[in-house]
Amino acid sequence: MPPTTGTWGPKRLGMTAVAQLEGDSADRIALRDLVERYAWAVDARDIDAVVDLFCEEGVLLSQLTAGTEETPLERRGHAQLRRALELGLAQYQQTTHVVGGQVVELAGSEAGGTTQCLAHHVYRSDAGDDRLLVMAIRYHDRYRKQDGSWRFAERRLRLEWRDDRPLAGTT
């Protein structure tokens, strides 16, 4: 028998809330698919596919480097997004993004959400050795449904922590 007193039990959420979650399931699945496709396309270096996941005037805000905590780097619109992705990915030999938990709040054709990710980046240092940079990233997203498909209206990348080390198994 399922618990009735926990965070997700009917007594906590109420039967109306449970029914609402069930009614929103298609949108929630589509939003999860959106963040998964973003990670896959970045790792595949399919820049056109990444850009197509954003609204035409979509915004990417980056808080991954020192000095961007108060004023993030901003890229607006498909042309700026494309150029930022080209430059950003060029510095890595390979990336692997592992998408973690996602929480979304739906409001008709708009939604907001937070997604966690461990982003792995293989690169060659100035000294010539292969290194692995792992970043824990929390994405704060605003989504918009256009022509029946969910897209990023705004995606904010916030660095939680990073680990930079020699890549194991290389000399």
pLDDT beyond 90 at 57: yes
3-state secondary structure of 124: strand
**Per-residue pLDDT tens digits for 7-22:** 444 445 554 555 555 6
- Cβ-in-10-Å burial (0-12, 13-18, 19+) of 107 comes to exposed
Query: Which of the following CATH numbers is that of domain 10-166: 3.30.300.30, 3.30.10.20, 3.10.450.50, 3.20.20.80?
Result: 3.10.450.50
Give the tokens for residue 79: 């042309």
pLDDT, position 69: 74
H or E segment to which residue 134 belongs: strand 130-146
Rounded distance between C-alpha atoms, residue 154 and residue 135, angstroms: 20
**Per-residue pLDDT tens digits for 40-54:** 999 999 999 999 999
The DSSP bridge partners found for residue 105 are 112
The DSSP bridge partners found for residue 158 are 63, 138
Confidence grade of residue 5 (pLDDT, cut at 50, 70, 90): very low
Supply the pTM of this predicted model. 0.84
**Residue 133 CB: number of other CB atoms within 10 A?**
17
Mean pLDDT of the 166-171 span = 78
**Per-residue pLDDT tens digits for 121-161:** 999 999 999 999 999 999 999 999 999 999 999 999 999 99
Chain centroid to Cα 168, Å, comes to 26
